[in-house]
Chains A and B, each alone.
Chain A
């Protein structure tokens, strides 16, 4: 069991420390606290004794391949699923004992769209406001504000069915922020979003984090999403493998890798025999740890003639994941599935 603990002072957020907003919550209470939580689906362990503490105002990313248990953890934190063991609380409220109170302080964007596609954008927001018991005036003001944030003002009376995947995502994020939650859960939030929108949304979320101490928990298997987070937890097979800021993780576990594509299977076998620490990538390619230039040089001298392709991979979180789990974060099948999903969502009108 490893405990993932982000240190606030090390997060490089001077502005937040100065501009403290008087939000009525006890400052010492962590935004998210998970203690030895386990969850199983029909005997198969989805979460294995996971512990995690997230201070207020932090942005944390759960990084891991599909099926690692990220969504299960989120479901437990937003009270949709009871943990089979352990304790979890959000904003200091136990999610099992007081689910209704816990729900008040969280906003959730699910992996799959949970908009009503027969209602307009405005009506989806209005519905959300009603269900969260917001007064009419509040609803109007907040709905307009969040619609503007995600740049959907021109679409407010349009039925959601005609929205593209990216627009739906933006609307969902807007909706999750409508009732001004303390903690925002984003389950694979930016699938199908263009870079510009993604950047804008993160900018806004960062601003909210500074001003209102909004805590953002993201699950993703996209490396690009994670680089900006204060804290990264790498999760695989239901366990937290490592935690820390992206830079720390890269420094600590990141290795430079040499990605090579052997000319033929025999060459591949020869390389594996010579370098047992090499890790196969896909069916043919191999990755060799090559932090040292000397190692790389020696390898090149020996196998120069049996290689089709060769490239250095500088330390990234992806390589951190590779060195910690011996697997690539996204296998071929994942990439394909994402592409299909994105294509499907683009099916609508833009």
Chain B
């Protein structure tokens, strides 16, 4: 080939195109066998805590957002779902203390927060679920200092210390609630000016929605966490398949239906002081 052709860029462009096409083709090679192995076994092992409502409830008729999501993913991949209930999960936000092994779980769900700490050990696929401190009041904002605020900390590991420090600074009086029902009642009856609880608990409350508004507390008190599915690093093919499935659910409305079923679609107002706005 010594003929340069009528146009000087032809040969150059052709060479670049060939090389680029080759690389593009290569980028579709599977980098590992994780998906292939699951397919061979026919089982998708998902590790969950015994209870982490509303992601995991333990109630067979209403198993929870993550449980139903995992089931949908397994079906999408053509695998049988094996829910592996491990009491250690979700005890705190540091998954290092959960003592999980690759042999037990392919996916970890029900309380995996999408944080840098988690991502050091797992790769994460965020779900629509998000948690953090949520305020509930008639005005959609925290009441003036001197008011009484009902607090229900919930089970998730949000920073209670930071919350109480903040309340003291604001001059608000905290009244500890013992159950969601008690908080529900206090709010609906208007015996407290506002309530503060964890987002998932707030979603499960049956409130008079005409009178009360939910809003996120400022992230300076305690950061919000996006919940996620955790997969082992290096299981790229499985991760891609799961990510594809999630994207499909997003498009087909499955995700929306599940969110609605577990109250994850409820509008929560961003804090007024949020600098991101």
Contacts and interface: CB of A to CB of B under 8 A. Distances in A.
Question: Are A and B in contact, CB atoms below 8 Å, in the complex?
Answer: yes
Interface of A: 119-120, 123, 157-159, 161-162
Most buried by B among A123, A157, A162: A157
Contacts of B3: 157-159
B8 A123 contact: yes
B152 to A, nearest CB: 76
Contacts of B8: 123
Contacts of B2: 158-159, 161-162
Q: Is the interface of A mostly helix, strand, loop or mixed?
A: mixed
Nearest to B4: A120
Contacts of B5: 157
Most buried by A among B3, B4, B6, B8: B4
A159 B8 CA distance: 11
10 contacts: A119-B4, A123-B4, A157-B3, A158-B3, A158-B4, A159-B2, A159-B3, A159-B4, A161-B2, A162-B2
B9 to A, nearest CB: 11
Interface residues on B, range: under 10
Nearest to A158: B2
A141 B2 CA distance: 25
A98 to B, nearest CB: 34
Nearest to B8: A123
A161 B6 CA distance: 18
A341 to B, nearest CB: 23
Interface string B1-33: 011111010000000000000000000000000
A119 B3 CA distance: 10
Given A123-B4, A158-B4, A162-B2, 5 more contacts: A123-B8, A157-B3, A157-B4, A157-B5, A157-B6
A78 B250 CA distance: 72
Contacts of A120: 4
B162 to A, nearest CB: 67
A123 B6 CA distance: 11
Contacts of A157: 3-6
Nearest to A159: B2
Contacts of A162: 2
Interface string B62-85: 000000000000000000000000
A136 to B, nearest CB: 13
A163 to B, nearest CB: 10
A120 B11 CA distance: 12
A139 to B, nearest CB: 13
A158 B5 CA distance: 8
B8 to A, nearest CB: 6
A34 B119 CA distance: 77
Contacts of A159: 2-4
A157 B4 CA distance: 6
A237 to B, nearest CB: 44
Contacts of A161: 2
A123 B8 CA distance: 8
Nearest to A156: B4
B202 to A, nearest CB: 71
A162 B2 CA distance: 7
A268 B74 CA distance: 107
A157 B8 CA distance: 9
B14 to A, nearest CB: 15
A159 B6 CA distance: 12
A157 B11 CA distance: 12
A49 B59 CA distance: 108
Nearest to A121: B4
B207 to A, nearest CB: 75
B6 to A, nearest CB: 7
B12 to A, nearest CB: 11
Nearest to A157: B4
A223 to B, nearest CB: 37
Contacts of A158: 2-4
A96 B8 CA distance: 38
Nearest to A120: B4
A123 B9 CA distance: 12
Nearest to A123: B8
Nearest to A122: B4
A347 to B, nearest CB: 15
Contacts of A123: 4, 8
A161 B4 CA distance: 12
B148 to A, nearest CB: 82
Contacts of A119: 4
Nearest to A126: B8
A120 B6 CA distance: 11
Interface string B84-125: 000000000000000000000000000000000000000000
Nearest to B5: A157
A144 to B, nearest CB: 15
Nearest to A118: B4
A162 to B, nearest CB: 5
A120 B9 CA distance: 12
A312 to B, nearest CB: 51
A158 B6 CA distance: 10
A123 B3 CA distance: 12
